[in-house]
Amino acid sequence: MTTQTFERAVTLPAPADEAFAWHERPGAFERLTPPWEPVKVLHSDGHIRDGAKVVLKLGALPLRWHALHSGYEAGRRFVDEQVKGPFARWRHSHTVEPAGAGSRLTDHIDYALPLSPVSDWVAGTPVRRKLERMFTWRHRIMTEDLKAHAAAGLAPMTVAVSGATGLVGSALSAFLSTGGHTVRPMVRREAEGGIAWPVADHLDPAALAGVDAVVHLAGETVAQRWSDLAKVRILNSRTVRTRALAEAIAAMPHKPKVLVCASAVGWYGDTGDGWVEEGAPPADDFLAQVCQAWEAACQPARDAGVRVVNLRIGVVLSPNGGALAKLLTPFKLGLGGPVGTGRQYMSWIALEDVVGAIHHALAADTLEGPVNAVAPNPVTNAEFSRTLGKVLGRPAVLPAPAFALKLAFGEMAQGTILGGQRVRPSRLEATGYRFRLPELDGALQALLGRA
């Protein structure tokens, strides 16, 4: 068996004690896991001190990784070692040391492949490339997260989050908790640390006691055929719960400072190739009507003096869910291409920037009302298809005709796929938000591990 060594280091924009504390907080593993890696935590003891155990599920196959922590030195070092898993050996030490005004993190891994040395000839280079991609992501995320928390300058807050297990909510929760904030998920049933919200049209104001900010993300998916019943569910899941939440906040003796409530760029309808900003009037189609009612449902909180931000979110890009996740398989098979005419605009945003925009909304006291959460460089559907094909190294020339989509999805196809918006994030930019992934090509490369 041949033991190989992999080592990478990064200078972090935070003192050593803060960088180490980031690793110790809930959500660190989730933040460090690349989005293209299908890893699920099956068990965690919740700390990184000696004796802590972690069990991971790797991919779709029933493959488990059992790890044991050791070598803990408070504020400086910890080690995770594979007890059982895909490697013949794996020992990963994480060391944080002071470096000027910041710190230096060194990741050192000693590992051996199963069936080594024979397997070294076959899998040695691909494994090393995979590690390179993984630690490029990990170090970028840590650097950007620590920089964002330092720039925001927020004292530790307690943040209530609805939709905390969804694509955006889970990423946001991990980001906030590693930054030193306490996240309290809003759930239908009693849960430790959570806020019980069992009935849609009522929330006990006492349940929110001690909360400094609220982020409301929950809502029925619009990615379904819009039957009359589905439309009712889509509308009510947003308006009924949002109004109940806003009324509960308004009734609190000590109110949270801010309510950040999700909305969508569907407010603008199909805008063709004309630019729209936050002051544009709503369209009159179904999604626009939903967005109007959704934002209006926040009014009780606003009337009570709470700062309310209605985040009009675009097409969220992540390989873990949403539009990009659905497109990956056909595009990897070379079966992707433009939809309909391909001329409709996509106001997209990387998941990391949705999280960043919400964090910015929590911190920026002057930001309120409608805020477009989209990247500054929207593209046409045809351009999106070409770029995704290029990043994946596959052709992207097979069009999806409009009539087929309308036949399959009905009104939903026109409302979400065949129509589009060219939206500017004017208010985010005006209040100083710095996008992590402003260009589509760079965003897709980062999210898919091709950077």
CB contact set of 281 (below 8 Å; sequence gap of 6+): none
Which of 403, 127, 133, 416 lies closest to 265 in space, CA to CA? 416
Question: In angstroms, rounded to a whole number, what is the distance separating the alpha carbons of residues 101 and 448?
Answer: 33
**307, two tokens:** 């700062």
Domain 4-124: give its CATH architecture: 2-Layer Sandwich (3.30)
Alpha carbon 280 to chain centroid distance? 27
Mean pLDDT per 10-residue segment, the chain (451 residues): 94 98 96 94 94 92 92 97 96 98 98 89 92 97 98 97 96 98 91 85 95 96 90 95 98 98 97 96 96 98 98 97 93 93 96 99 98 98 97 93 75 82 98 98 97 82
Instruction: Report the amino acid identity of residue 33.
Output: T
Whether the Cβ atoms of residue 85 and residue 64 lie closer than 8 Å to each other: yes
State CA 100 to chain mean position distance.
32
DSSP alpha helix (H) spans, 297-392: 299-303, 322-332, 351-363, 381-392
CATH number of 154-447: 3.40.50.720
- Cα angle for residues 222, 228, 233 (degrees, 5° grid): 50
pLDDT of residue 337: 94
pLDDT at 122: 85
393 contacts: CB under 8 Å, gap ≥ 6: none
Q: Hey, how many other C-beta atoms are within 10 angstroms of the C-beta on 123?
A: 15
Helix, strand, or coil (residue 215): strand
| In the chain, ranges of CATH 3.40.50.720 domains | 154-447
pLDDT at 301: 98
* Rama region for 27: left / alpha / beta (φ>0; ψ in -120 to 50; rest): left
Number of helical (H) and strand (E) elements in the chain, helices listed first: 14, 20
Cα gap 250→105, rounded to integer Å: 45
